[in-house]
Structure 1
């Protein structure tokens, strides 16, 4: 099976690239890709850039260029629920926009004419939730928007609109929307790097990359190794 993996930042791409064997790198269009193997699956890894537009452009190019059997958005996210700690993982059972409002007749977060939430692929979600690992893995709702959340009032607004929300990021919603349109199985698998609204929020984030990233991305390797040869 061919798996497309999309990260937002170079730091995330580097961590995932280290998990691949038999790697080769090349450029197609405006994006650079790393092709490699995990178990019996071929992996196409790319960095799309931060935010919804970059994520959507990257997902479209990934699909048009490589025709992957599924796409995974991976990297880090901010935890927005008390059940989460730094280095925990959230797998997307559902994905929603926390910054979209299309007016009366639409649910908050819904792009008019599209589902109110996008579902993660059931097989990929099952693989994530069945991992036997010391790392806590939570399945639930990931909320996406074009804002790095640091302010407690902004966090409270998101939780009020989406009480079941577990994590926030800036790419999963856009990739989920593209995959919905192109009928590509999708899941977001995100490591918690910080808890927005905490007094030491920025210190959590920087400390994650300085001291925890190398250990935490092992769970990503376990997840990718658990994916079957076909969906």
Structure 2
């Protein structure tokens, strides 16, 4: 794999901060739509950090803007936090996506699979070479490889119970990655999601608020360690 610019997409400032803390140089922010773009140098390599805002449309818009600005030949990475869904997933784990699904898509009336947007794949595959680099860079982190779902709802206990029934293979859920994956698929761009588990879909947002910072830090640590090897 040849060295490429990495475009790292995060939703929130809390998810951007650990990347900025690791950088030796950071450019002034540039706005493209709602998204904020910053160039940064980490381990003598230049990357772009894009803060999209929360949600599927914000994530997709930021990804499309990044690909238009930097070209399709980039590593596109969705980083930050996620809710743990599968049995055995714990707060503190980091999930590397092998596939991604839009949990809000339901066109079964027309013969599509649950989670499949009409005309799109049933799921979007994470780039296999990026996956291998991330798994090799895990160090002391607990890293799990598997399926990630995304939708517009913050997943509390009631929502999680339905998702486990509908999508029993999902390890984790967030609010952006599958939308970014669809944009990457449409452009033929290399994509992966790397999310630290901040909560286990608790009844309210308390667990998320307690652990979003350390979940984002673990995601950033794994992403930057892997990118340094590419």
Asked if TM exceeds 0.5, the reply is yes
The question of whether the paired residues in 2 share the 8 Å contact of 1:15 and 1:217 is answered with yes
Query: Which residue does 1:140 correspond to in 2?
Result: 146
2:70 aligned with 1:86: no
Q: Detail structure 1 runs of 4+ shifted over 4 Å in the superposition.
A: none
Query: What is the TM-score normalised by the length of structure 2?
Result: 0.90
Give the counterpart of 2:58 among 54, 57, 72.
Answer: 54
Residue 23 of structure 1 pairs with residue 26 of structure 2:
yes
Q: Using a 3 Å threshold, how does the CA distance of structure 1 residues 224 and 141 change in structure 2: closer, same or farther?
A: same
Q: Does 1:101 align with 2:109?
A: no
Shift of 1:219: 5.1
Q: Distance in 2 between matches of 1:160 and 1:140?
A: 17
Counterpart in the other structure of 2:185: 180
1:35 is displaced (CA, Å) by: 0.6
Cα offsets for 1:30-76 (capped at 9, x unmatched): 33211112235321001111111111110000111122511000000
Shift in CA distance, 176/215, structure 1 to aligned 2, threshold 3 Å: closer
Confirm whether residue 112 of structure 1 aligns to residue 112 of structure 2. Answer: no
Does residue 38 (structure 1) correspond to residue 42 (structure 2)? The answer is yes
Q: Which runs of 5+ in 2 are unaligned?
A: none
Which residue number in structure 1 is paired with residue 171 of structure 2? 166
Q: Give unmatched runs, 5+ long, in structure 1.
A: none
1:121 aligns with 2:127: yes
Give the equivalent residue in structure 2 for 1:223. Answer: 223
Tell me which residue corresponds to 1:151.
157
- Number of aligned residue pairs: give it: 224
Q: TM-score, normalised by structure 1?
A: 0.90
CA contact (8 A) 2:101 2:116 kept: yes
Q: Deviations over 1:151-175 (max 9, x none)?
A: 33x2121111211100010000100
Asked if the contact 2:195–2:215 (Cα under 8 Å) also holds between the matched residues in 1, the reply is no
